[in-house]
Chain A
């Protein structure tokens, strides 16, 4: 895994800075945190079903994609975006260039690449295909072949 430091805040759709807490911190006292206008950082191992009923109180959700081979974040993004219609920003943090296409189509709404990819051509990897073969959370701009 690449060395990273998780952000302590991220910008939401209204360009407001949202402070972040970890998933564990949140579920320790959801009631208290719900009132504070916070966002959550979710690790691949976190059981996202535990916050399903609290989504309206969460300002922003950051999914951590640092571990290249751990694909749980894609299902977390799908559940939040497509199944539970989460209205806030879903940010893919510690993202890898080569996985942007998968992250975006799974439902993340913005991303922060790892430092090491600075200066790379993101377009090649976020938008490298003209078509897709399956329904997904986000198929924007693709020819649908299914």
Chain B
């Protein structure tokens, strides 16, 4: 597994030292709140009503068991014994005391973890497919590129004070697990007709009130030229992005106002002046060294004659949570921490330590995190999957609901969040109660329901099969329904079904939608494919008819 060098660790320590000085100046009244806010956000620190929230980056979603134990220790020592895995490969702690921040961050530098640029108007943690390097048919493992690009924009002198936050995702697989076209900037690894590797670039995607699929601004940027291209895109954004309107800060508004063609032209014009600068070429030697560091820790094993256990619950769990691995003899195992009715993504320090122990035992000490707020064990021997399942069951981490409609993505909602207009988790619970028949759930198959309590769209409802968005109407909670959002095969923002539906009838509406799907689908057809074939009308008719 890739580890930071001593120099990298030294840099993390220097960053903590500097932040500690800023923190002390703030506490002594020397540094005002406005400036401190800007500085603390760039170090992952939010001020909430009762305490402080700290967001730690999990670069490309990968943790070693040692790092996970360090996070468990942080949860116990500085928080209330738990952390929250986010949809963007970060972990958040919600009950941090201000004077302890520097010590917390210093503890984490020992294991190569940090909070640099996990918030604020700068380049955020760069996300990757959690299955990078693991699946057959991948174009290229995205992780070494993520690391090089992450480093390049780490305290970048020119781009650390952008108009808005800047999120980048990189995908090297055929299917898009990263949802790259809803990012400020998405990179897709591609090969040209000569077989050379490069990136297709998509700029200006985003969710929220003005959801937008990022248009392609360059179809092929050679690998060695990607840093200069990214700099040019950010330069145009830095100079021309809206700074006058709090709700139009993101790059999607600039791309929309200029038009994708004009934005691309401006970027290209700038890029033509820098692309041949040898200083801006991606360091191919370093890339090679990173590829060696990211090499898989397992080799093929011959399991000829191996027969897996037969057990009803095990089979159900396995069907939905175990995927084939490109290395023969291995499997990829998905683990959900979520219990029905609880906030997705929360993990106790005890669960973290259990996962660390099981990862040492079954997954080459490696853990990955996903945008569905689940955990992936990337290297499980096929003949040990059953033993792992037994252990997960023992710790209540192998719910058969995982991977079915009942595994709903929901933001904290109005129960916990000041911004939310409506509750999320209670709706998720009611949907789960309605669909409590395991046979029915298995028949429905993999169908995503995401529930956001407001337009900030923390639960990514726009890209779910069924998306629910909470809102207020005359003091009552209502939900707008969007259907057939997707990112895996192609990127589509969900289509609005019609008028929003009251809290009392929302679960009936969801059930009706699922029934229309079942009625119209051909054998294994997916929800989005049925929707494309039959259109929105049958769903409308059933829900509003």
Q: Which residues of A contact B (CB under 8 A)?
A: 68-72, 74-75, 77-78, 83, 96, 98-99, 101-106, 124-125, 128-137, 143, 145-146
Asked if B161 and A134 sit within 8 Å, CB to CB, the answer is: no
Interface size, B (range): 35 or more
Closest 3 CB pairs of A and B: A71-B161, A105-B157, A135-B279
The CA of A105 and the CA of B156, in the complex, are separated in Å by 9
The CA of A136 and the CA of B231, in the complex, are separated in Å by 11
Cβ of B121 within 8 Å of any chain A Cβ, yes or no, is yes
Q: Chain A CB within 10 Å — which of B8, B154, B160 has the most?
A: B160
Asked if A135 and B280 sit within 8 Å, CB to CB, the answer is: yes
The 8 A CB mask of B126-166 against A (1 = contact, 0 = none) is: 00000000000000000000000001111111111111000
Residues of B within 8 A of A74 (CB): 157-161, 238
The CA of A105 and the CA of B155, in the complex, are separated in Å by 11
Partner of B235, one of A68, A75, A125, A132: A75
The CA of A131 and the CA of B15, in the complex, are separated in Å by 11
Partner of A102, one of B18, B160, B243: B160
Shortest Cβ distance from residue A35 to the other chain B in the assembled complex, whole angstroms: 30
Asked if B38 and A131 sit within 8 Å, CB to CB, the answer is: no
Asked if A102 and B157 sit within 8 Å, CB to CB, the answer is: yes
Residues of A within 8 A of B31 (CB): 98
The CA of A57 and the CA of B348, in the complex, are separated in Å by 65
Cβ of B541 within 8 Å of any chain A Cβ, yes or no, is no
Asked if A83 and B273 sit within 8 Å, CB to CB, the answer is: yes
The CA of A125 and the CA of B38, in the complex, are separated in Å by 15
Residues of B within 8 A of A124 (CB): 18, 21
Shortest Cβ distance from residue A122 to the other chain B in the assembled complex, whole angstroms: 12
Asked if A134 and B18 sit within 8 Å, CB to CB, the answer is: no
Given A72-B238, A130-B14, are A145 and B151 neighbors across the interface (CB < 8 Å)? Answer: yes
Looking across the interface, which residue of chain B has its beta carbon closest to that of A99?
B161
Looking across the interface, which residue of chain A has its beta carbon closest to that of B13?
A130
Residues of A within 8 A of B34 (CB): 68
Asked if A133 and B151 sit within 8 Å, CB to CB, the answer is: yes
Since A71-B158, A145-B151 are in contact, a sample of 17 more A-B pairs with Cβ atoms closer than 8 Å, ordered by chain A residue number, is A69-B121, A71-B163, A74-B159, A75-B158, A103-B157, A105-B157, A124-B18, A128-B14, A129-B14, A129-B18, A130-B10, A131-B10, A133-B151, A134-B152, A134-B154, A134-B157, A146-B283
The CA of A70 and the CA of B240, in the complex, are separated in Å by 12
The CA of A134 and the CA of B235, in the complex, are separated in Å by 15
Looking across the interface, which residue of chain B has its beta carbon closest to that of A73?
B161
Q: Tally the A-B contacts, defined by beta carbons under 8 Å.
A: 100
Given A83-B273, A130-B14, are A136 and B22 neighbors across the interface (CB < 8 Å)? Answer: no
Looking across the interface, which residue of chain B has its beta carbon closest to that of A44?
B243
Residues of A within 8 A of B38 (CB): 68-69
A and B contact pairs by CB, cutoff 8 A, 14 listed: A70-B161, A74-B161, A74-B238, A77-B158, A98-B31, A98-B35, A125-B18, A129-B15, A129-B155, A130-B11, A134-B156, A134-B157, A135-B279, A146-B283
Given A83-B273, A102-B160, are A70 and B243 neighbors across the interface (CB < 8 Å)? Answer: yes
Looking across the interface, which residue of chain B has its beta carbon closest to that of A125?
B18
Asked if B152 and A133 sit within 8 Å, CB to CB, the answer is: yes
Cβ of B17 within 8 Å of any chain A Cβ, yes or no, is yes
Given A72-B238, A135-B280, are A96 and B35 neighbors across the interface (CB < 8 Å)? Answer: yes
The CA of A104 and the CA of B155, in the complex, are separated in Å by 13
Residues of A within 8 A of B8 (CB): 145
Shortest Cβ distance from residue B116 to the other chain A in the assembled complex, whole angstroms: 11
Residues of A within 8 A of B157 (CB): 74, 78, 101-106, 134, 136-137
Q: Which of B270-310 contact A (CB under 8 A)?
A: 273-274, 277, 279-280, 283, 286
Asked if B286 and A146 sit within 8 Å, CB to CB, the answer is: yes
Residues of A within 8 A of B35 (CB): 68, 96, 98
Given A124-B18, A128-B18, A129-B14, are A71 and B283 neighbors across the interface (CB < 8 Å)? Answer: no
The CA of A131 and the CA of B121, in the complex, are separated in Å by 22
Asked if B161 and A143 sit within 8 Å, CB to CB, the answer is: no
Asked if A75 and B14 sit within 8 Å, CB to CB, the answer is: no
Q: Chain A CB within 10 Å — which of B151, B154, B158, B286 has the most?
A: B158
Residues of B within 8 A of A104 (CB): 157
Looking across the interface, which residue of chain B has its beta carbon closest to that of A96?
B35
Residues of A within 8 A of B14 (CB): 128-130
Residues of B within 8 A of A131 (CB): 7, 10-11
Shortest Cβ distance from residue A73 to the other chain B in the assembled complex, whole angstroms: 8
Q: Chain B CB within 10 Å — which of A74, A78, A124, A143 has the most?
A: A74
Cβ of B49 within 8 Å of any chain A Cβ, yes or no, is no
Partner of A128, one of B17, B158, B280: B17
